[in-house]
Amino acid sequence: MAGQNRLTGDHGGLMDGVYRHQRHFYDATRKYFLLGRDPLIAALDVPEGGSVLEVGCGTGRNLTLAAKRYPHAHCFGLDISRRMLETAARSVARANLDDRVRLARGDATRFECRALFGMSKVDRIFLSYTLSMIPDWQAALCTSLANLAPGGSLHIVDFADQSGFPDLFGRTLRAWLARFHVTPRVDLIDVAGALAHAHKGHLVARSLYRDYALHIIVTLPPQPPADAARMQNDIGRDPLPA
């Protein structure tokens, strides 16, 4: 497992503390409320021989599924928590994917694929229920886009604002999530849309389960267009594959 020295503050220590015990029952319990992860993997559509990176890979649950679904892809995962990476390494080994999946410790807000994995850009990057745990989540989005190859895509699934549920449900969920240092990013679409615009890219987004969660894809142009930036935010109108 490769290392990364320039980690921010003690967020890694905080995450190690949060997941010290939870990582042992994480996959069994999270499947009931980290909704939308499998549709995200299905929509990655990694090109033959392409590369895919999960930022905040946790236990490796998503990465092993992605590696199986895209058997010709080069798969990478980074996480700030050493404990989660230990669990991820075991999941990868159990799935006999050591030769196809590489893991490294890194900070989503300041990583470089070249330093961690020896390749400058990747074709697909995804963040699954990770931005809601990163204080400077906007920096994590910028950094991910900076590591994406031309024509590549950034895929995000995370908590939305629960506006389709009674107030009490939303307040109870947010209070419970806060105990785990999770904060839904209610302006995620706006920030991702502005970044897509700045990169002359294209954003599609879909609300999941009555605004329980949000699935966003930002696609970069194959070559930066010569003409002025053109925003193409088709929020709610351009459905993603189920």
Ligand X SMILES: C[S@@+](CC[C@H](N)C(=O)[O-])C[C@H]1O[C@@H](n2cnc3c(N)ncnc32)[C@H](O)[C@@H]1O
- Binding region for ligand X (CB under 6 A): 11, 15, 30, 34, 37, 56-58, 61-62, 79-81, 84, 107-109, 128-130, 133-134
DSSP output for 26-82: HHHHHTTTSTTHHHHHHHH-PPTT-EEEEES-TTSHHHHHHHHHSTTSEEEEEES-H
Give the residue with the Cβ less far from ligand X, 82 or 197.
82
Closest CB 57 distance from ligand X, rounded Å:
6
Q: Which is nearer to ligand X, 127 or 233 (CB)?
A: 127
Output the smallest distance, CB 48 to ligand X, in A. 25
Contact 104/110 with Cβ under 8 angstroms?
Answer: no
CA distance 67 to 103: 13
The Cα 1–Cα 205 span in angstroms is 34
Between 179 and 237, CB nearer to ligand X: 179
Residue nearest to ligand X (CB): 58
Tokens of 236: 């709610």
Instruction: Output 69 or 197, the one with its CB closest to ligand X.
Output: 69
β-sheet bridge partners, residue 207:
214
